[in-house]
Amino acid sequence: MKLVITLLLVAFCFTSFAQTDPIVRNAVFKSFEEFKSNTPSIHPINLFLEQTGEDKYLLSYQDSAGNMKEYKESLWGFSDNENVYIKYNKHYARFMAIGKISVFKFFQESETKWSTSSSTTVVSTPVGTTITHNAPTPFRYKTKEKGEVSYILDMNTGKITTLKASAVKKLISNDAELSAEYNQLGEYNQERDKLAFLRKYNERNPM
């Protein structure tokens, strides 16, 4: 069954940070430069995301007459009335931090597989016992969660890299107090608190 989701995307279990950044909402950004300058090509626009399969999504919009149409033009990113999204490597991802250091992550998906099961029915009657082997029934089962990988967007150059603790150390190194606080953490806590410290950095060093 198709699931239609306005881009709140609660089903993906993200914590919202809506309206804490200056990015225009209900908009389409066709390039990184539009995003960087906060000047979307299309605004306002009501966007909807339809999940059509595992890790497959269809972006639609509502026209002036109230009709739903598939959005077929190219885009770099977009926003709904709460959150901001990027299309990277042909997949949609949501920003978790926007500022001098911006961070985004792909929607969490589960790897699933198809298998079959069969059953046996035993029926006792006055003339004896009948054993029936039913035809195999296909079923879908969850295996494991795909790895959670976050990415850093350099708001000066548009370059995208993987978010790692080593990258955080370099990115916040010009904030001596915050850098010292992060470096005092153990390796496990540095890995755990990567995003929290980048958000602190953005608050202390606004664009």
Decide if 135 is inside a domain. yes
Decide if 136 is inside a domain. yes
Count of domains for the chain: 2
Average pLDDT for 123-127: 58
The residue segments making up the domain with residue 178 are 164-207
Q: Left if phi > 0, otherwise alpha if psi is -120 to 50, otherwise beta: which for 9?
A: left
Please give the C-alpha separations between residue 199 and each of 99, 139, 152, 190, in angstroms, as whole numbers: 8, 43, 12, 14
* pLDDT-wise least confident of 13-17, 57-61, 155-159, 194-198: 13-17
Do residues 45 and 27 make contact, with C-beta atoms less than 8 angstroms apart? yes
- Check whether 118 has a pLDDT greater than 60: no
pLDDT, tens only, 126-147: 566 565 555 554 444 343 444 5
Average pLDDT for 47-62: 83
Same domain, 207 and 168: yes
Structure tokens at 200: 């602190």
Decide if 15 is inside a domain. no
pLDDT at 58: 86
Continuous segment of H or E residues that includes residue 160: strand 160-162
pLDDT at 123: 55
Type of residue at 100: K
Do residues 54 and 109 make contact, with C-beta atoms less than 8 angstroms apart? yes
Decide if 44 is inside a domain. no
